[in-house]
Amino acid sequence: MPHPAPVVRTPDARFAGLPEWPFTPTYLTLDGLPGAPIPLSIHVVDEGPRDAAETVLLLHGEPSWSYLYRRMIPPLVAAGHRVVAFDFVGFGRSDKLTSVGAYTYELHRRTLLGVMEALDLRGVTLVVQDWGGLVGLPTAALDVPDRVARLVVMNTFLPTGEETPSLAFRAWKAGVGVVRTWLPVGPLMRLALPASQRRFVPAYTAPFPTRASKAGAVAWPLLVPTEPGRPVAAHMTAAREALSRWDKPALLVWSPQDPILGGVARHFERLIPTAGPAVEVRGGHFLQDKSGAEIAGYVLRFMEQTRPGRPT
């Protein structure tokens, strides 16, 4: 059997006619990404005025893509903001490396930095969930704090390997390690999404037509540190230290029904000095899918209340 090409892109036809997804795909080309043998094309949704005073940057997690934010993008744009969501390498419409070992934390960090620099994003309200938090929070706090105006943190964590992972996550990571690129994305999403949202499962499986295209989805859970001293753990420890001194606004939006991260909001309430009690919404791990419009409303009020120069 021939080896797959080192880089593939999911055919456009897989994304035709997705429900609630009217956005025209655009692409950035990023060169020199770690582990990439050629420049990679990164799919970007870039909506709203390019000269807007404020930009909302939405980061997805595992095994989703920008589609997860389909119900948040329209109300944020309607309020006059520029809204950017992109697919990390290996996900959505972005290029995919076909070797699990090619995916590293540095690859995803450099992709995020590359998108922010290429689009010159400033005054950013950074919205993160799942692996979007593991990449976005350290990058915001340590690399580009001057570009980030505020944080919105949703159902994520900064694992250092010193804490005991939930049983659900341990089972998830162990299962991925066994099945590897046979990863059954469709059945997993059917389990993770509320019953009312399962009609959208085909949109989440669209990016993964072959085993080779799933390498990035396999790699992410395997990168999560579950013991001290692992490479990614150092990034998480440094991010925790930086966020403990964060002096810009922060909003926590959480779904307690998440079997993996439902109880982690308390950690961020204690960690980030500017974060008050988490706002709770329904939806489980993929809270944006069920409660996206509601979350967008919370984000808009948060942005209005924390705008520089607003009377107190």
The yes-or-no answer on residue 120 being catalytic is: no
Tokens of 157: 């964590």
Write the pLDDT tens digit of every residue in 77-111. 999 999 999 999 999 999 999 999 999 999 999 99
231-243 helix and 131-138 helix, angle to the nearest 10 degrees: 60
Dihedral (CA of 86, 94, 161, 165) sign: positive
Write the pLDDT tens digit of every residue in 134-170. 999 999 999 999 999 999 999 999 999 998 878 888 8
Strand partners, 42: 28
Mean pLDDT computed over 10-32: 97
pLDDT band at 306 (very low <50, low <70, confident <90, very high): very high
Residue 119 pLDDT > 80, yes or no? yes
pTM: 0.96
pLDDT score, position 231 = 85
Say if CB 42 and CB 115 are below 8 A apart: yes
pLDDT score, position 187 = 94
What burial letters (b/e) apply to 274-296, b meaning 16+ CB within 10 Å?
A: ebeebbebebbbbbbbbbbebbb
Q: Helices (DSSP H) in the chain: which residue ranges?
A: 73-78, 105-118, 131-138, 167-179, 185-192, 201-205, 215-223, 231-243, 265-271, 287-305
The residues, any chain, with a CB within 8 Å of residue 234's CB and separated by 6 or more, are none
* Low-confidence winner among 18-32, 115-129, 154-168, 290-304 (lowest mean pLDDT): 154-168
Write the pLDDT tens digit of every residue in 58-69. 999 999 999 999
Write the pLDDT tens digit of every residue in 216-244. 999 999 999 988 888 899 999 999 999 99
Write the pLDDT tens digit of every residue in 240-272. 999 999 999 999 999 999 999 999 999 999 999
Mean pLDDT computed over 27-33: 97
Pick the catalytic residue from 130, 143, 247, 267.
130
Query: Which one, of 189, 163, 157, 177, lies nearest residue 263 by Cα?
Result: 157
Residue 311 pLDDT > 60, yes or no? no
pLDDT band at 171 (very low <50, low <70, confident <90, very high): confident
pLDDT score, position 232 = 94
Pick the catalytic residue from 46, 87, 95, 258.
258
CATH architecture, domain defined by 7-305: 3-Layer(aba) Sandwich (3.40)
Pick the catalytic residue from 43, 81, 108, 285.
285
The yes-or-no answer on residue 130 being catalytic is: yes
pLDDT score, position 5 = 77
The yes-or-no answer on residue 267 being catalytic is: no
